[in-house]
Amino acid sequence: MTSEMLQSRLDAAMPGTTIEVPDGSVRTTRPIYITKSGTESAPIVVRARNRGKAVIEGKAGIEVVGASHIVIEGLAFTHENRTPAVKLTDCKNVRVTRCRFRLQNDASKRQNWVAITGGKSEQNRIDHCVFEDLATAGAFIAVDGGEAIPFQVSRSDRIDYNHFRSIPKREGTPGGGARAIRLGWTKLAGSTGATVVEFNLFETCSGDEEIITVRSSGQTVRYNTFQNSAGHVTLRLGAGNTVEGNFFLNANKEGVGGVKVFGNDAKVFNNYFEDLTAPALILSNGVGEAVPTGNGATIDIARPAAKRAAILFNTWVNCGGGALEIGSSNGGQWPDAPTECAIANNVAIGFGDELIRMKGKDIAIKWSTNIMFHAVSKDKVGVALADNEVNVVFPKLRNPGGIWRLGPNSPAIDYAQGEYEFVSTDIDGQPRPKNKDAGCDEFATGPIKQRPFTGTDVGVEAP
């Protein structure tokens, strides 16, 4: 099928139309446009006849403009890295599913492979796709929004069951590094997205210190697995963002971290960190306030310090870079210390460097009912606090199935304090009772619903 033939069929499409793309190459010289809309019960579907064998090659990919209820399924995108593979502008209910993305890299070009933009975009879904070998500046997926007042990021999108892999570290990449996902940017920081990034596998995504960068508000990153990825999930701008129930794992790779928190009212809970070599969780200093633009809006131009962050029910095991780094100041360039933050009901055990590293001054932290133990000495915990703040006691973890969970005699059982009603399950997906356990795992004998993902759990061929 030629690109002209495909464009002609899309131009004539009606609700309920299914366009089957045969095996072979669709070579483009310019983007293929979809501007017609389907309906909820009768979407317009563009589908590979055989998954992965209909290949978009050439100069450009597919752009969907002002359309709704579209499905793009089973295509492979290998064209030049000049335009996005799929770009959605002011779209609603567009689904990109079971596609493969491996664009031809051009080191001089900054590009996002799947881009969602426009202030009217909402409820789009990217699922069961494979993204691999991003070696240029940009992101596999970028969720943006309107570029004029009121600067609204795309709303209620879902990014799930994808396999993101192989973003190599390249020194001196022009225009910034290569990231897996970017949610928003500076002007969109104050807008609420309610996008959910869940059930994905991030493997060797090491092209930038921000594996996922969140630069908008009300976003959620949950139930994902990060494996051997140098960098952090970074809450860079915005407020009210959540990082919940993720596995951060490493096998002898340098620079692998977990979560870095800037901004207001973040919740980081039920996460598991093991063998990381960069600080596993950073409550960062910051710099800058929201400043007026002169047109009635404000934009946050810098990195606001963590404020009112809740770091709850997490577990750290043998993280060589430390479990917690508090007050990281970037060599003094970020002078504003974290304030009004709570660190409660966590479990940490380590064997190397200090578990907690206090890097700044005037840091306002409320500590409560944490259990932390260092195999060398009590001093290596890193802070000297009252027992009801950090209890230095062996947590008695066990390792069934490769993840350290509470043993039946663990002092973390029923140890947690505080209501925290939003923490209703643990990392395994098991319910938490009124008397909760400390750490990410609630001791239970029932079935485990959520485990670390492997490549067979996500991507094009996953169930």
- Which has more confidence, 360 or 89? 89
β-strand pairing of 324-328 with 356-358: parallel
Comparing 27-31, 178-182, 220-224, 373-377, which segment has the lowest mean pLDDT? Answer: 373-377
Res 157 pLDDT > 90: yes
HSE, CB side, 13 Å, CA atoms: give it for residue 304.
25
CATH fold, domain 3-301+320-332, is Pectate Lyase C-like (2.160.20)
The band of 301, judged by pLDDT with boundaries at 50, 70 and 90, is low
pLDDT value at position 136? 86
The band of 171, judged by pLDDT with boundaries at 50, 70 and 90, is low
Token readout for 259 is 């979560």
Contact 80, 106 (CB under 8 A): yes
pLDDT value at position 300? 47
Q: Name the pTM for this structure.
A: 0.95
The band of 109, judged by pLDDT with boundaries at 50, 70 and 90, is confident
The band of 173, judged by pLDDT with boundaries at 50, 70 and 90, is low
Comparing 66-70, 125-129, 169-173, 299-303, which segment has the lowest mean pLDDT? Answer: 299-303
pLDDT exceeding 70 applies to what percent of the chain?
A: 95
Res 364 pLDDT > 90: no
State pLDDT tens for residues 71-86. Answer: 999 999 999 998 999 9
What letter would DSSP give residue 361? S
Helices and strands counted in the chain (H then E)? 1, 43
